[in-house]
Amino acid sequence: MTHLVRAALVLGVALAAAARAAAGQAAEDPRTVARVALRAALTPDDDRYLAFQMWQEGVARYTELLAARFAARHVTPSRDFRALPGFISFDTAASRIESGIHAGLRAPLNDRRRVAFYALGAGYALLRDEMEAGWRARYLEGEMTLDDR
């Protein structure tokens, strides 16, 4: 396992563990600890690309989860919609998205390439929800990164 693959896996595992923990329980912000290790394994250009992928695609995956959770609480699908082939409830959709994020956080990079960073970005965004209410208001400001730079 290369240093990069190991560092990405450490970040994913840290984010998965932190997402399961209650806010404020961690002594150190796992985003900082694990992200620093991943950053050290990358060239500056690769790190900027990682940050961008987490910011763009990771937050898109996170947004899908939030939209499905919202719909599960507030939307009642019509009978015609429920009758469509392949229909699943919004609650089931949210569960599948969340499971996919957590599975992606624990999976090594090897064959997944840049898609691996989608789960990392989503996990990072979920952790920010736990640790820093209001971060989303600043999402479009700055350098297209979820990192505090």
Dist. CA 77–CA 73, nearest whole Å:
11
Rounded to 5 degrees, φ, ψ at 28 are -120, 150
Q: Which long-range contacts (CB under 8 A, 24 or more apart) does 114-118 make?
A: 114/53, 114/57, 116/8, 117/8, 117/50, 117/53, 117/54, 117/57, 117/58, 118/53, 118/57, 118/58, 118/60, 118/61
Q: What is the pLDDT of residue 1?
A: 42
Q: What is the pLDDT of residue 19?
A: 59
Q: What is the pLDDT of residue 126?
A: 84
Q: What is the pLDDT of residue 55?
A: 86
For residue 51, give the nearest of 69, 76, 31, 30 by alpha carbon. Answer: 31
pLDDT in tens, the chain (149 residues): 455 556 666 677 666 666 555 445 554 565 566 667 677 777 888 888 888 888 888 899 999 999 999 999 999 999 999 999 999 999 999 999 999 988 888 776 666 666 777 888 888 888 788 777 787 887 777 777 777 64
Q: Where are the domains of the chain?
A: 3-138
For residue 127, give the nearest of 99, 100, 101 by alpha carbon. Answer: 101
Q: What is the pLDDT of residue 22?
A: 47
Q: What is the pLDDT of residue 50?
A: 81
Q: What is the pLDDT of residue 133?
A: 76
Q: What is the pLDDT of residue 110?
A: 64
For residue 17, give the nearest of 28, 1, 3, 6 by alpha carbon. Answer: 28
Q: What is the pLDDT of residue 31?
A: 57
Helix (H) or strand (E) holding 37: helix 30-40
